[in-house]
Amino acid sequence: MAEEAAASTPPQLSAAPLGSSVIPIVNKLQDIFAQLGSQSTIELPQVAVVGSQSSGKSSVLESLVGRDFLPRGSDICTRRPLVLQLLQTKRKPDGSEEEYGEFLHLPGKRFYDFSEIRREIQAETDREAGGNKGASDKQIRLKIFSPNVLDINLVDLPGITKVPVGDQPSDIEARIRTMIMSYIKQPSCLILAVTPANSDLANSDALQIAGNADPDGYRTIGVITKLDIMDRGTDARNLLLGKVVPLRLGYVGVVNRSQEDILLNRSIKDALVAEEKFFRSRPVYTSLADRCGVPQLAKKLNQILVQHIKAILPGLKSRISSALVSVAKEHASYGEITESKAGQGALLLNILSKYCEAFSSMVEGRNEEMSTCELSGGARIHYIFQSIFVKSLEEVDPCEDLTNDGIRTAIENANGPRSALFVPEVPFEVLVRRQIARLLDPSLQCARFIYDELIKISHRCMVNELQRFPVLRRHMDQVIGNFLRQGLEPSETMIGHIIEMEMDYINTSHPSFIGGSKAVELANQQIKNSRVPLPIRSKDGSEPDKALTSERSNKSRAILARQVNGIVADQGVRPVADGEKLPSTGSTSISTWGIPSIFGGSDNRTSVKESSTNNKPYSEPVHDAEHSFSMIHLREPPTVLRPSEDRSETQAIEIAITKLLLRSYYDIVRKNIEDSVPKAIMHFLVNHTKRELHNVFIKKLYRENLFEEMLQEPDEIASKRKRTRETLRVLQLAFRTLDELPLEAETVERGYSLGSDPTGLPEIHGLPTSSIFKWKWAPLHARPLSHSLSVSHLNVKLCRTPPTKAGISK
Ligand SMILES: Nc1nc2c(ncn2[C@@H]2O[C@H](COP(=O)(O)OP(=O)(O)OP(=O)(O)O)[C@@H](O)[C@H]2O)c(=O)[nH]1
């Protein structure tokens, strides 16, 4: 009845629950985890009680939890492992608490009456293990929800029994041992090895099985129960001092409720008071206060939990600090909200200046985020100039699209109605102009490429910073786009002028130009060298070795084109041109270029004349003598006239000269263009943009009436800023909290008071400390429990008083 009454009163822990003083610290840490958005929790070690049957395991566990809910009795009670999950719940808004249990096998059913929990454990044990003392290794899982507990698992295990009774199989002892071992061999399991004081400790099943699972004793605490029913005249001093069986973490002696107390419904609270009274009334235990009583056991466990928490703190701290750095960076990227006009103006000005600075830096290669994987910014501009533009121009052969026939046609056209006396200047100029004109397109294309590059660079400037101001970004892109287009126009005009200038005046006095005399000399040389073998023209007019000679000729040209000024005396076989017939003699008289006379020998002239007469298109029909007085009819000139196919040596020389001149002059122009086009683009487009961009921005965008519009932020950014600011605040708080976490033994001992903590959790204390319970235990000798429990070193602050020699059990 009393127990029922206790259960119905507002749930209040009546004793020092396990880990009570650690709860606030763990809560704080859990809060930090939660605020970090982390799913992980602080995993506290599981605590298992082991021992022989009826040694008092369940009683110890109950005392630690502070609630009556486990079946206890002089007979076998725990016949299935009971995994007790303590789960901390939030206090209700009105401050009231709610404690209840829930079984895994009865999901959704809440047990607010703890004696009902006990009845359900008994019933569930019977269901699985039968009603006649049978045991089963099938767990009963019970969750206890309370605002006053630590999230920790406690395991009540069946007691070790020797002689099978009831329905127990013959190997009951082995079975139970195996079952117990499966729990306590886990390195994260803390073992409470329970031995009644009225039995022989040296024969303790609890210590024996715990020793098997934890040979070094880093996670075994010895618990001596039933100190109150020891033989008269005996005491547990030596046991507690570890003189009988040494234990690294030592022993704690407790007095639980007797069977009589249970029958009388004596509460745990009363039992704890009685226990305190018991130790106080036994002078033999006075000096062992730190190892006597359930509160001391709870304290010892708390200390181990604190050590465990300490071990996980450094990892937690480094996680928080790295999160702090990245969140702070993100927060900074969203900037601050600026409301005043002056502030907005300054912000806008700052952005514009920074943008221009970033643009210039990228063009000049001073960009901080310089890539090591690919060319960027100014380097790409250089590449376009040198590796694309210049290289392409150098690969062009000015005579590439000119056939010998073409050149000859041009020459004949230039001669007009006369036969040429001099090497005609006009065809060279016409042809060279045509080649120069070809340079316009690649030059304009080059300017376009650079323009595209600048647009790309502009898009890469301040990408992150301007995310916040999409309207401004759009406007800036527009302004710089227009401005670059405007810069492209004068550079294109300039390129046009450069090409026109080159075409307008063919400077045959250029010092690098080959000049007429030299060209004639070289041409003669070439003709002479290539006189034998003469290409034999077949009937259809094709030359068998045309392809070959043409190829050679191309090669020679290529060599020629690579020489300085484009001139080299071609020593090898240098057929003048495709399909040329070379004269047998090469004697020519040479004048200087300009008015160069290349009077061919009379033979040549004759041969030209002859060849012209023999030329089919011009040849007249042969008339009979009888028709000599009749009207002579001329053949109608064809609509399209071409020069005769037969070529004189003079013509061959003329063609060769023209080509030499073309190449030489083209080379001069090409170099000029290669030099001046990039200069024009740099001046009118690139550098002009660098110089003027800031002014243009100011002129177009820095207007007070536009501030608001330009600095408009998307809602998303505002909410991101708010969110990161909050996260930042939480992280900073978490970092501070970790630093200030009172993990010193003294504070933990007292129960960490949250004071005016906004979570509103109450102060939680253990039992009032009387002089007899004055804590002296100092775990200086403690060693890591396991990997998950361990701390590599203990904080010296944990040690208030040096441990007594006896306390350091070996
Ligand atoms: N006088 C006295 N009786 C105790 C003490 N501890 C336990 N008991 C009694 O011993 C009996 C067994 O206690 P339990 O807590 O059920 O022991 P247990 O080890 O859990 O038992 P099983 O689970 O059956 O193995 C009960 O009647 C308890 O009242 C104690 O310190 N002093």
Nearest-atom number in ligand 1 for the CA of 227 is: 31
Cis peptide before 187 (omega within 30 of 0): no
Beta-carbon neighbour count of residue 407 at 10 Å? 23
Contact 245, 808 (CB under 8 A): no
| CB-based contacts of 736, cutoff 8 Å, min separation 6 | none
Q: Which residues line ligand 1 (CB under 6 A)?
A: 51, 53-59, 72-74, 76-78, 159, 225-226, 228-229, 255-259, 262
How far is it, in rounded angstroms, from Cα 751 to Cα 29? 16
Nearest CA to ligand 1 atom 13: 56
How far is it, in rounded angstroms, from Cα 188 to Cα 304? 12
Nearest-atom number in ligand 1 for the CA of 79 is: 23
Between the CA of 234 and the centroid of ligand 1 the distance, in Å, is 20
Between the CA of 226 and the centroid of ligand 1 the distance, in Å, is 8
Give the pLDDT confidence score for residue 411 in this predicted structure: 75
- DSSP readout, 224-273? EE-GGGSPTT--SHHHHTTSSS--TT-EEE-----HHHHHTT--HHHHHH
Give the pLDDT confidence score for residue 596 in this predicted structure: 35
How far is it, in rounded angstroms, from Cα 533 to Cα 310? 101
Query: Is the dihedral angle over the CA atoms 804, 805, 809, 810 positive or is it negative?
Result: positive
Give the pLDDT confidence score for residue 779 in this predicted structure: 31
Give the pLDDT confidence score for residue 421 in this predicted structure: 59
Between the CA of 74 and the centroid of ligand 1 the distance, in Å, is 6
Between the CA of 66 and the centroid of ligand 1 the distance, in Å, is 16
**Quick one: 21-33+43-323 is in which CATH superfamily?**
P-loop containing nucleotide triphosphate hydrolases (3.40.50.300)
Nearest CA to ligand 1 atom 21: 54
Nearest-atom number in ligand 1 for the CA of 51 is: 19
Between the CA of 419 and the centroid of ligand 1 the distance, in Å, is 138
Between the CA of 229 and the centroid of ligand 1 the distance, in Å, is 12
How far is it, in rounded angstroms, from Cα 651 to Cα 657? 10
H or E segment and range at residue 294: helix 294-334
Give the pLDDT confidence score for residue 373 in this predicted structure: 64
Nearest-atom number in ligand 1 for the CA of 159 is: 25
Nearest-atom number in ligand 1 for the CA of 262 is: 29
Which of 54, 263, 268 for mutating ligand 1's site (highest number of atoms within 8 Å of CB)? 54
Nearest-atom number in ligand 1 for the CA of 75 is: 24
Nearest CA to ligand 1 atom 14: 56
Structure tokens given for 308? 């465990």
Nearest-atom number in ligand 1 for the CA of 261 is: 29
Contact 517, 592 (CB under 8 A): yes
Nearest CA to ligand 1 atom 12: 54
Which of 67, 230, 258, 279 for mutating ligand 1's site (highest number of atoms within 8 Å of CB)? 258
Which of 63, 72, 209, 260 for mutating ligand 1's site (highest number of atoms within 8 Å of CB)? 72
Nearest CA to ligand 1 atom 31: 226
Nearest-atom number in ligand 1 for the CA of 77 is: 24
Mean pLDDT by 10 residues, the chain (810 residues): 38 47 69 62 79 91 82 76 84 81 91 89 86 79 83 86 77 88 88 94 92 92 94 90 92 93 88 93 92 89 79 80 88 80 86 90 74 71 92 84 77 69 70 89 94 90 80 90 92 94 88 79 78 45 39 34 35 37 35 33 35 41 53 76 65 80 89 94 93 91 83 84 86 80 55 34 25 26 36 25 32
Q: How many CA atoms lie within 13 A of 535 on its CB side?
A: 29
Q: How many CA atoms lie within 13 A of 382 on its CB side?
A: 9
Between the CA of 199 and the centroid of ligand 1 the distance, in Å, is 13
Q: Exposed, middle or buried: residue 40 (CB in 10 Å: 0-12, 13-18, 19+)? A: exposed
Structure tokens given for 514? 């080959």
Structure tokens given for 504? 């307008």
Nearest CA to ligand 1 atom 23: 78
Give the pLDDT confidence score for residue 42 in this predicted structure: 62
Between the CA of 294 and the centroid of ligand 1 the distance, in Å, is 14
Between the CA of 72 and the centroid of ligand 1 the distance, in Å, is 6
Beta-carbon neighbour count of residue 74 at 10 Å? 10
Nearest CA to ligand 1 atom 7: 56
Residue 160's DSSP bridge partners are 52
Q: For the chain, what are the domain ranges?
A: 21-33+43-323, 344-528+648-702
Between the CA of 228 and the centroid of ligand 1 the distance, in Å, is 12
Cα 807 versus chain centre, distance: 53
- DSSP readout, 22-76? THHHHHHHHHHHHHTT------PPEEEEEEBTTSSHHHHHHHHHT---S---SS-
Between the CA of 225 and the centroid of ligand 1 the distance, in Å, is 8
CATH number of 344-528+648-702: 1.20.120.1240
Torsion of CA 765, 768, 770, 774, to 10 degrees: -10
How far is it, in rounded angstroms, from Cα 164 to Cα 326? 64
H or E segment and range at residue 609: helix 602-614
Which of 256, 265, 270, 297 for mutating ligand 1's site (highest number of atoms within 8 Å of CB)? 256
Express the helix, strand and coil content of the chain in percent, nearest 5 each.
55, 5, 40
How far is it, in rounded angstroms, from Cα 63 to Cα 255? 10
Comparing 21-33+43-323 with 344-528+648-702, is the CATH topology the same? no
Between the CA of 529 and the centroid of ligand 1 the distance, in Å, is 125
Structure tokens given for 598? 């290349």
Nearest CA to ligand 1 atom 3: 258
Q: How many CA atoms lie within 13 A of 798 on its CB side?
A: 22
Nearest-atom number in ligand 1 for the CA of 226 is: 31
Predicted ipTM of the assembly? 0.98
Q: How many CA atoms lie within 13 A of 69 on its CB side?
A: 25
How far is it, in rounded angstroms, from Cα 135 to Cα 81? 9
Give the pLDDT confidence score for residue 369 in this predicted structure: 63
Between the CA of 111 and the centroid of ligand 1 the distance, in Å, is 24
